A and B are shown apart, each in its own frame.
Chain A
Amino acid sequence: MIDFPKNTVLTFSEEEELFRESVREFCERYIAPNWIEVDKRSEQNPMDIPVDIIKKMGEQGLFCIPCSEEYGGQGGTYTMATIAMEEIAYADPSVALAVYALLNTGWPFALELFGSEEACQEIIPEVAKGRAFFGIASTEPQGGSDVAGLKTRAEKKDDVYVISGEKTFISGVGEVQKLEWGGGWFTLARTGGEGHKGISAFALLARKNGELADGWEPTIYEDIGRHGLTTGGFKLTNFEVESKYLIGEENRGFYHVMEGFNLARIVVAAATIGASRWLLEQAVEWFRTRKLFGRNISAFQGVSFKFADLYARWEASRYFVYRASRLADKIYIEKDPSYKPLDLNVPVALAKNYGPETCVDLAEEVMKWYGAYAYTKEAPIFRAWLGPFSYVIGAEGAQNIMRLIIARDIIGREYLK
């Protein structure tokens, strides 16, 4: 097994190590033996969601990890959430279950940071138990990266916001319909003028207590990978949201969602380093058994040097990811005043940029090392390629947006115009 090398830069507490072991054991028992079957079944029918595994994960406390116990969360840290996502994705390198878990950790935590007491009390306990889904719905048909340009509108009438518009490429559209309680998203709608200062955030519940809300029209897409977690879209037509579901201040939604994105990106990157670890192990196993021209194939430097480069990128990704999660703990768990939410921007962008790209590049190389076998559906490696590829394309921020964040901060915003 490839594990952390001994080091003094990245160390874990006894509790964190024990938690990693417990998640690893849970995953060995319930996820690793089933992930391929889940991926296959949901490929045939995207609504064939692994509800039983989600329920078990809820019972084991793998959702809402940094959320307070008073809201039914686990009372852990963001680093603990990061550990969990890495281990879940190692057991399911298609990353479907890790992404389910990370969405239902990052976004309920963002709700806790900015949402009303009533909304938190109602939503977080159900998500923590695996009875409800709570993710992010910001992308619209015209694009996802230009959050400030979104078109969905919300009009306030008495104590209710009436929302109309459309959201696309949204995770969890099927889960909201199939899980016992239901759920929804941290979503955005325009309550003011143009630009980012006219946007508000809402907890939009498409289904709660098993009942569908009016004005919500869902569609399910057929993804190429990461089956077991649905992607879809929905139209909102005069969808009514009570004002208790307004997240934070009116017209400050852009700022709240950006903090939420930073938090979610850390765990997205954590999932990809978990899948990468599985891929590295597949490669090592192959190198030690596969012989060509009378030698192990790793005896060819064209193979072993490439492996070494990718291993280096993977270790770097891991450092980026855990540095970002430790920083998130300083800001949001320890509430250390010497750290500010904006301090997360570059560390998180580095993690989200490096983690998924390393994972996809690694998957592609491992497939080449395996040769034709990897191109058959008998070898599961392609599932660890297509799943993480979703996080290179987008999800919690496109790769070039990550580059923009880094460049803007290091070079200076005014020099990029």
Chain B
Amino acid sequence: MKIAVCVKEVYNLEQVKIIKETREPILDVPKKLDDLSRNALEEAIKIREKLGGEVVAISAGSPDLKKTIKEALAMGADRAVIVTDCSNSTPESTALILSKILEKDSYDLIIMGDASSDDYSGQMASRIAEILGLPQITFVSEIKEVSEEKITCVRDMDDYLEVVEADLPCVLSVTNEINEPRIPALKDILKASKKPVETLSANDLGVEIPQPYEIIENLAPEIDRRQEVIEGDAGDVARKLAEIIRREA
């Protein structure tokens, strides 16, 4: 089983600070592998552990990817193919770039997160499936069965669960309910540096990166706190607090 996992680098949001006066984020923070990319990788590694084969991490992003991709290799990807000159790529051009890489090899399964924690556009699986002419199963919360020929998944549609079967090759997008990603141990991290990484440019792949839109502003939302002071003796305060909780819960 040959599995491609499309992964994405994102800013480590836990370290992003917001300038209080201007609400602008300070983005001079390290990048990391997106959480849902790790769910996708975990699922791919589990399938490899069961059926054998190879897991290839594929990504398009900034030059920082050379570092970030090591997380995917430490988690257990066997090798990686990265494109490092498309920091400001749109979902459309990223899908084109990733598809060009995927076309170069014959993968049985292509897995990715259903969205990323930065842009959260959620378009990648559908765009790639369309470009490559493959069946797609989105919002996968469980893989019930997988063989060399077929895959059966549970789709989480919020209000109901749908069980779907598809022939391979196929594109999957997974939700965070699907698994708890493994944390790489030191031995895995040390091995990651020795795994092969192929670095390409969008130009190598013959893809031009259009800029159909520009980001004019990127500000943190305004959060107004009500700061209501409840006065009185302990009994009164407790009663009033309970009323507020009941009313606003």
What residues of chain A have their CB less than 8 Å away from a CB belonging to chain B?
Answer: 1, 3, 14-15, 17-19, 21-22, 25-26, 29, 60-61, 65, 69, 74-76, 80
A256–chain B nearest beta-carbon distance, Å: 26
Cβ–Cβ < 8 Å partners of B14 in chain A? 1
Number of A-B contacts (CB under 8 A): 47
Decide: A22 and B189 in contact? CB cutoff 8 A: yes
Q: A1-B15, A15-B193, A21-B32 are in contact. Are A75 and B187 (CB under 8 A)?
A: yes
Q: For residue B18, which residues in chain A have a CB less than 8 angstroms away from its CB?
A: none
Q: What are 15 A-B interface contacts by the 8 Å CB criterion?
A: A3-B15, A15-B190, A15-B192, A15-B193, A18-B71, A18-B74, A18-B184, A18-B189, A19-B189, A25-B183, A60-B185, A74-B186, A74-B187, A75-B187, A75-B190
The interface residues of chain B lying within 8 Å CB-to-CB of A74 are 185-187
Assembly CA distance A76 to B189 (angstroms):
10
Is B67 close to A, CB under 8 A? yes
Q: Select from chain A the residue with minimum beta-carbon distance to B32.
A: A21
CB within 8 A of A61: which of B70, B185, B193?
A: B185
One digit per residue, 1 when the CB lies within 8 angstroms of any chain A CB and 0 when it does not, for chain B 175-197 equals 00000000111110110110000
Residues of B within 8 A of A26 (CB): 183
Q: Smallest Cβ distance from A99 to chain B, in angstroms?
A: 19
The size class of the interface chain B forms with chain A is 10 to 19
- In B200-229, the 8 Å CB interface with A consists of none
Q: Are B183 and A29 in contact (CB under 8 A)?
A: yes
Give B contacts to A, CB under 8 Å: 14-15, 30, 32, 67, 70-71, 74, 183-187, 189-190, 192-193
For the complex with contacts A22-B183, A80-B186, 15 further pairs of A-B residues with Cβ separation under 8 Å are A3-B15, A14-B67, A14-B70, A15-B192, A15-B193, A18-B71, A18-B74, A18-B184, A25-B183, A60-B185, A69-B187, A75-B186, A75-B187, A76-B186, A76-B190
Provide the residues of chain A in CB contact with B186, threshold 8 Å: 19, 22, 61, 65, 74-76, 80
B189 / chain A contacts, CB cutoff of 8 Å:
15, 18-19, 22
Collect the chain B residues with CB atoms within 8 Å of residue A25's CB: 183
A22 touches B74 (CB 8 A): yes
Complex Cα–Cα for A69 and B187 (A)? 9
Please measure, in the bound complex, the distance between the C-alpha atom of A1 and the C-alpha atom of B189, giving whole angstroms.
Answer: 24
* Bound form: Cα–Cα A21–B30 in Å: 11
Q: Which residues of chain A are within 8 angstroms of B67 by Cβ–Cβ distance?
A: 14
A76 to B184, CA, bound (A): 14
Of listed A18, A69, A74, residue having the most chain B CB within 10 A: A18
- B213 → A minimal CB distance (Å): 33
Contacts of B184 in A (CB 8 A): 18, 22
Task: Give Cα A80–Cα B185 distance, bound, in whole angstroms.
Answer: 12
Q: In whole angstroms, how far apart are the Cα atoms of A77 and B140 in the complex?
A: 40
| A22 close to B185 (CB less than 8 A) | yes
For the complex formed, measure the closest distance between the CB of B34 and the CB atoms of chain A, giving whole angstroms.
Answer: 14
